[in-house]
Structure 1
Amino acid sequence: MPQSPDALDAVAVRTWCSLALEALGREREAIDAINVYPVADGDTGTNLYLTMESAAAAVEAVFAAHGTGTTAPARADAVHAMAHGALIGARGNSGTILAQLLRGMAGVLAGSGDPDHLRRALAEAASSARLAVAHPVEGTVLTVATEAAGAAAATAPAATLTDVARAAHTGARAALARTPGTLAVLGRAGVVDAGGQGLVTVLGALLEALGGRAPAVPVAAPPPAPGACAEPEPQDGPAFEVIYLLEASDDAVARLRARLDALGDCLVVVGGDGLWNVHVHVDDAGAAVEAGVEAGRPHRIRITHFAADRLRPGPEPAQRAVVVVVPGDGLLELCAEAGATTVLARPGEPPASGELADAIRRAHAREVVLLPNDAELRHTAAAAAEQVRAEGVRVSLIPTRAAVQGLAALAVHEPGRSFDEDVVAMTAAAGATRYAELAVAERQSWTTAGICQAGDVLGLIDGDIAVIGDEPAATARTVLDRMLSAGGELVTLVLGEDTPDTLADALTAHVRESHLAVDTVVYRGGPRTAPLLIGVE
């Protein structure tokens, strides 16, 4: 058992994360089994485990970077890594709230790890988690966190770190036991709150990391249904869970909260300092992602389709179409062959909302998926979609930012499945595709990658200049290596009108030699296309 420290230092943080991950691993299935709120989808334990796994990995990375000397990393580095790891790896409603709890604690513990700071950290965690949830509900993990903080705050001034952690754990256990009497759905199911159970586990790990002993708190399985033919409670609510990381300002996130709150429920937005984790349950997954695009730069988009019987009933569509904006004649032909209605975007002459609306009408479909393929077109596309929706056409706008994202979405389009399922699949495919392009600098200028001169080859990744090179092949290889450093399964290359086939051949060979198990496909974009477009799925 770890010795009782005088302060919660980096080593104690590392031990806490390790013990919490181990305990959540043991209890994952049992916590999944009692998950009935807010959605009975049996994944709370798994989501908490995966979130904690990301937090623990981030802390381990800090220790690895520090080396194997006699000193440990700074406490502030460890707690900030824990919070950041949880933020970027948060899964589901429960994991997102856990990420905010850890972030709240980290903000205080970075300053000091003494007993008073631990009391304040627990209070800040409970407060910030409530603020992150659009509509807090009592009898949930929020209640457990609040009462844990209250119990810690009530400890004597001379209490040790272990005393404060033990009080928090005891207060959390007591609050957890009362959740079935507070939240009716838990009482009817005969279970405690699954997220609250996970928090008790995490606080128990903190107590053990500080030298205490946490009493075993077995997860009580739900009682058997009264009678073999008993039916579960009917489930309603939105059909999809949407989660993404978002780079955005505080003001933009405030507007995003209001927009997503109107779209669905179970809204939790956590983070700060320009990076946020967004979680919401909605019927229109595309609209939720579109709202993120309006606010900033969403990535790591994850969309989960709840059980099919929770989808709201509706008539089967008589016909569906996809409308795609494309930058070149070659892609226009490619998309048209795939059955899409196309709109050609000419250089310096982007299509107006009326032109896009006419294309939607020209598709002669009751349901239409719109792919603008340009970040600058999102407002125009949204206006066109609203205009045609008023005429009775169901339109879903997937906020694709580049042609390669549109190709990825079009590749998974399946008219035979339900409209919602089709939109989810296309949105996920587009969101999983990073995009880049090569351009030639027209003049000397400052860029995010340094100073470029006229004639330099610029490699733009996700819209930002990332590489400045002398010639296309080397620049493209550097861009590809950077994009594939995070993994990938398929590279799409779209060649401009004057780009030689030899460039595609060289890049295909480079991918094959340097990035095993990654496939490459090549298309001709034709006139008006950039020298090279790159997509990585």
Structure 2
Amino acid sequence: MPYPLDAAAVRSWCGLALEALGRERERIDAINVYPVADGDTGTNLYLTLESAARAVEAAFDGHTSAGTAPCLADAIGAMAHGALIGARGNSGTIVAQLLRGMTEVLAAGDGSADALRQALRRAAASTYEAVAHPVEGTVLTVATAAADAAERSAAGAAGAAGADAAEVARAAHEGARTALQATPGQLAVLGRAGVVDAGGCGLVALLGALADALSGEVSATPVAVRADAPLPEAAGCEVADRAAANGRGGPEGPAFEVIYLLEAGDAAVARLRTRLDGLGDSLVVVGGDGLWNVHVHVDDAGAAVEAGIEAGRPYRVRITHFGGVTRAKEPAMTARAVVAVVPGPGLAGLCAEAGATPVAVRPGEPPASGELVQAIRQAHAREVMLLPNDADLRHTAAAAAEQARTEGVRVALIPTRSAVQGIAALAVHEPGRSFDEDVVAMTAAAGATRYAELAVAERQSWTMAGVCQAGDVLGLIDGDVVVIGSDLTRIATAVLDRMLSAGGEMVTLVLGADAPDGLAERLERHVRARHLAVDTVVYEGGQHAAPLLIGVE
């Protein structure tokens, strides 16, 4: 007996999709040659669906606590939202938009076969809308073929008993499988490699899981990832593929992948699309209702992040350096890399420009160890320096380092407790020297940097400096509150004086998103006037948790 398309079916779909992508992850990674051969499409799709599944489970838990049952709109909406906030890579971002397109139809609460047919059509159309320069022979083509097959199924059933949702889903899955096998003849880089499109392969697995959830007949048949034979007509070069797809492209392609969530209005996002389209390629912007997921490949990662800051409020910024992998089927390995957790988009851009792989986090949403492991993998290095930059992340970072070591990566956990210590460690990083010497130098630089931050109290509390009230400005040195007041500039100067009373040669100021105008200039003047021979450097960090971070070396 087929199952109805309801909240329970969506929950089952998520579970089966995770199982399918878990089985296929490595095989999909291995055929990832377009748009960049960075070998992570399967992993990115798995992580995207993992976020979607968590959101669905949270929706069910919330209704259970309230003594109610979730409806289809609740479940499919949670799945789409979870995919949006957890989308990874080009294909993960497109799949998030596909789920959002389905939600636009299914949120009406109708789980009929006709509603599913319309949802698949809307999903396919929405993916084309999200991609700046659509290319055939990719996941977009596979999604369209799935929608076409679903419509044929519904048309064939007209006049008879009518198709149920399970039959429509199965037809969509078969249509997608057929279209996937044709992708090597549509995109030259796939034909030369003799493989199907990796993103399309993931979508076939996803649609197969939907068909299984609705039919109750689970099939573990692997998706065919190889073309029947290399296609001689698929001639040309990858550079031509990229140029045709994006209207630009050089022999190596852009150096960075930049992804972030963005809180912004529609008009600002429209301007952002235009600006990012001029900066790079593989541009995908998905979402709506004030929340967007932005994905682009660029040479200037800082400019891509700055564009997001101008458009609204970016967070969860992820910047990955491709390391010249666009010509290789497998990612090129580098000798050594740095992975750094940072609290703001400005710091993420700064780290990326210095050659590090940043993991930018939002206040109250610390990264899980799995996210740090994924960042280590994306660094494509045999040796990695991991900078947690937060005392509360030491156990999470240690777990990530241990997991990465089991995968053959030599990882050193540099004990940085603040982003300013991370900046100091990154400044002395030297890949040319031995691993152990680099660890010692980076650890010493971090340890020689005292750190402080300014924060705003959220409620009344006892501190080492006395009782604070909600709204008070707190000055913390090495994690302890040392001064409380109402004026941010005065607290900042008091903290600086305390830190510099023990000596120092360099002051680092990292301005938060809410730092008042002119704060840096006032503090620089104060340091020049009160502390001779002390240099000051200022960075726009963009962090929201602390208006100001201070480091003294």
**What range describes the TM-score normalised by the shorter chain of this pair?**
0.5 to 0.7
* 2:143 is the alignment partner of 1:145: yes
Give the match for residue 201 of structure 1.
Answer: 205
Matches within 5 A, 1:47-66: 47-66=44-63
Give the match for residue 4 of structure 1.
Answer: 2
Amino acid of the residue matched to residue 218 of structure 1? V
Give the match for residue 383 of structure 1.
Answer: none
Look up the SS of the partner of 2:319 in the other structure.
strand
Distance 1:140 1:500, change over 3 A: closer
Deviation per residue, 1:206-251 (Å, 9 max, x gap) = 00100154662433357999xxxxxx97862101100000111100
**Deviation of the 1:498 alpha carbon:** 4.4
Which residue of 17, 20, 27 corresponds with 2:17? 20
Structure 1 CA distance, aligned partners of 2:39 and 2:524?
49
Kept in 2: contact 1:141–1:195 (CA 8 A) = yes
Amino acid of the residue matched to residue 38 of structure 2? D
Deviation per residue, 1:473-500 (Å, 9 max, x gap) = 665899999xxxxxxxx96989533469
Distance 1:528 1:109, change over 3 A: farther
Deviation per residue, 1:51-72 (Å, 9 max, x gap) = 0000001101111122279863
Give the match for residue 173 of structure 1.
Answer: 177
Structure 2 CA distance, aligned partners of 1:86 and 1:479?
38
Amino acid of the residue matched to residue 87 of structure 1? L
Give the match for residue 274 of structure 1.
Answer: 290
Structure 2 CA distance, aligned partners of 1:33 and 1:115?
35
Give the match for residue 358 of structure 1.
Answer: none
Structure 1 CA distance, aligned partners of 2:462 and 2:427?
37
Kept in 1: contact 2:459–2:469 (CA 8 A) = no
Kept in 2: contact 1:88–1:277 (CA 8 A) = yes
Aligned residues: 365
Amino acid of the residue matched to residue 265 of structure 1? D
Kept in 1: contact 2:31–2:39 (CA 8 A) = yes
Give the match for residue 363 of structure 2.
Answer: none
* 2:426 is the alignment partner of 1:412: yes
Give the match for residue 408 of structure 2.
Answer: none
Give the match for residue 129 of structure 2.
Answer: 131
Distance 1:208 1:88, change over 3 A: same
Distance 1:187 1:479, change over 3 A: farther
Deviation per residue, 1:335-358 (Å, 9 max, x gap) = xxxxxxxxxxxxxxxxxxxxxxxx
**Deviation of the 1:436 alpha carbon:** 8.0
Distance 1:492 1:170, change over 3 A: farther
Kept in 2: contact 1:11–1:72 (CA 8 A) = no
Could you list the runs of 5+ residues in structure 2 that have no partner in the other structure? Answer: 231-236, 240-250, 328-417, 433-451, 483-490, 499-522, 528-545
* 2:80 is the alignment partner of 1:74: no
Distance 1:282 1:58, change over 3 A: same
Kept in 1: contact 2:15–2:53 (CA 8 A) = yes
Kept in 2: contact 1:24–1:201 (CA 8 A) = yes
Identity fraction in percent: 60
- Give TM-score, length-normalised by structure 1: 0.60
**Deviation of the 1:307 alpha carbon:** 2.2
Which residue of 455, 475, 492 corresponds with 1:496? 492
**Deviation of the 1:23 alpha carbon:** 0.5
Matches within 5 A, 1:410-489: 412-413=426-427, 437-438=454-455, 459=457, 467=458, 469=460
Deviation per residue, 1:170-222 (Å, 9 max, x gap) = 11111111111111111111011010010000000000100154662433357
Amino acid of the residue matched to residue 204 of structure 1? G
Kept in 1: contact 2:454–2:473 (CA 8 A) = no
The farther-off stretch of 253-262 and 66-75 is 66-75
Matches within 5 A, 1:119-268: 119-154=117-152, 155=154, 156-157=157-158, 158-211=162-215, 213=217, 216-221=221-226, 236-268=252-284
Distance 1:165 1:309, change over 3 A: closer
Could you list the runs of 5+ residues in structure 1 that have no partner in the other structure? Answer: 226-231, 312-403, 419-434, 439-457, 460-466, 482-489, 503-524
